[in-house]
Amino acid sequence: MAKSDCWYTYIVLCNDNSLYTGVTTDLARRIDEHNSSPKAAKYTRNRRPVELVYAETAESRSEACKREHALKQLTVEQKRKLLLKSPVDIRGLANQPA
């Protein structure tokens, strides 16, 4: 497995309107896994389909995981405000190579 130079911290909106936060080096692959693979997170397997609603880049896995942890500490209301203020245009981001 080749190491990626870019990591992503992302949030998906689940079918039940809940939010799931994770990290990956390949957004398109990971979103596909969440929607159709047994490799999906246990949380999202029962809440399909999911939609990518937020993503940001990090320079390392460590930084991505630290950001994931910080996002998971936010309340649902704080996360939804973050999504509304997000300067990141995630349209097509999942289709870009990492």
Rounded average pLDDT over 72-95 = 76
- Asked if pLDDT for residue 6 goes beyond 80, the answer is yes
pLDDT of residue 88: 55
C-alpha dihedral sign at 52, 57, 62, 68: negative
Token pair recorded at residue 76: 């649902």
Domains present along the chain, CATH in parentheses: 7-91 (3.40.1440.10)
- Please give the radius of gyration of the chain, using alpha carbons only, rounded to the nearest integer: 13
Lowest mean pLDDT among 34-43, 65-74, 80-89: 80-89
pTM of the model: 0.84
